[in-house]
Amino acid sequence: MLPLFVLQMMTVHSDYVVSMHIFKALWGICTNTTNKIDKNGASKFKVWTPSLLDIVAVFMNLGAPFHALFPLSHLQPDFTEQDIISRQHSNENHLEDHLVTPQREPIFTSLPEYNITNVVKFLLLCTSMYPEVYSDKELVLLISLGGRISLEQDMTPNKDFQCLLNNLLSNIREWNVQMFELCTILSNLSEHHHNLSYLVQLIPDGSTRGRQLRRHLSLVIISKLLNKEGICMPKDPDMKIAQLGQFMYQMKPSSLLKTLEANVQSEQQAPQKEQTMPTEPDQQVIPQIGWLYLSLGI
């Protein structure tokens, strides 16, 4: 299929100018088809939108291992890595140099950010014109995928990426169900407090759903950082200050420091097979929790 091939070529091409020309061609194919449908009302025209499998195949072509894109065992797409490889091998028009192959190196070792940006812009177009094209599960997977890639690339959230996330959130049908699922998923994409705060910052706050997700995710992450034995998952979509009651005392700087020191002592006392360097409490957790508390907006 021509649009899929164009999308793949756009994302793997190493020359910025050529990649942008390919992107404009892909954009033109989709918008021209849309204009024909609007003008003629002809059902024979159909706008191509990439499936979730197509999108994942694109990132695998860029060097991302399948397991790195979907690290959570309970959140997996309805296809496997082998499905993608088999489909690519069966495509006679696919260039051998661009075949998907399993990777063992770190994800996106030398990927120009404009390659990802072009994919984001095209998905923004698709989700704007056809908000119903992806199911709720696929939308959640795409949001998780966006968070995972952003963490690996250490990308600065730009306008296009924020708009795409806003579209994905807006297109979810059963929001009250999927919002809590997103909190669980995003809070498990990393264990480091900097990364967790970064994921909160990724979420756009220009819409009601975005602000709601930011508040709930912040509370989940605060509970994760303060209480390693269990995570507090709010059950009410409309968060109330009473839900913070159990954390108010723990969020005092003096209490935070005591908690961190206790965690370090517990880790040092645990039996270890290998000698490791002494662990110091990461006091940067304190301002991170403070920022997360402010993002609750309560």
DSSP conformational letter for 131: T
pLDDT for 165: 95
pLDDT of residue 245: 53
Query: Residue 261 to residues 91, 226, 248, 264, 278: CA-CA distances in angstroms?
Result: 57, 12, 19, 5, 12
List, in sequence order, the alpha helices (H) in the chain: 2-12, 16-40, 52-61, 66-69, 81-89, 113-129, 136-153, 159-171, 175-187, 193-202, 208-226, 245-248, 253-269, 285-295
CA torsion angle 44 78 199 133 (round to 10): 20
Instruction: Tokens for 97, please give them.
Output: 């140099």
Q: Could you tell me which residues come within 8 angstroms of residue 289 by beta carbon, excluding any fewer than 6 positions away?
A: 193, 222, 225, 226, 251, 256
pLDDT at 229: 52
Please give the C-alpha separations between residue 148 and each of 139, 189, 247, in angstroms, as whole numbers. Answer: 14, 7, 28
How many of the other CB atoms lie within 10 Å of CB of 292?
23
DSSP assignment letter at 98: G
pLDDT at 4: 81
Q: Read off the tokens for 295.
A: 């993002």
End-to-end CA distance of the chain: 50
pLDDT (0 to 100) of residue 135: 96
Residue 94 pLDDT: 47
How far is Cα 91 from Cα 49, in angstroms, rounded to an integer?
19
Residue 77 half-sphere exposure toward CB, CA atoms < 13 A: 26
- Residue 76 is encoded by which pair of tokens? 């997996």
- Per the CB < 8 A criterion, the answer to whether 4 and 48 are in contact is yes
Assign 248 to helix, strand or coil: helix
Q: What is the pLDDT of residues 191-227, one digit of tens each?
A: 888 888 889 989 998 899 999 999 889 888 888 877 6
pLDDT, residue 11, reads: 81
Considering only CA atoms, which of 160, 131, 161 is closest in space to residue 145?
161
- The pLDDT, as a whole number, for residue 141 is 96
Residue 167's pLDDT is 96
Under 8 Å between Cβ of 202 and 259: no
Residues of the chain with pLDDT under 70: 1-2, 37-46, 90-112, 154-157, 227-298
Give pLDDT, residue 103.
44
Q: What CA–CA distance (Å, rounded) separates 207 from 170?
A: 9
pLDDT score for 102: 45
pLDDT in tens, 91-116: 644 444 444 444 444 444 555 677 88
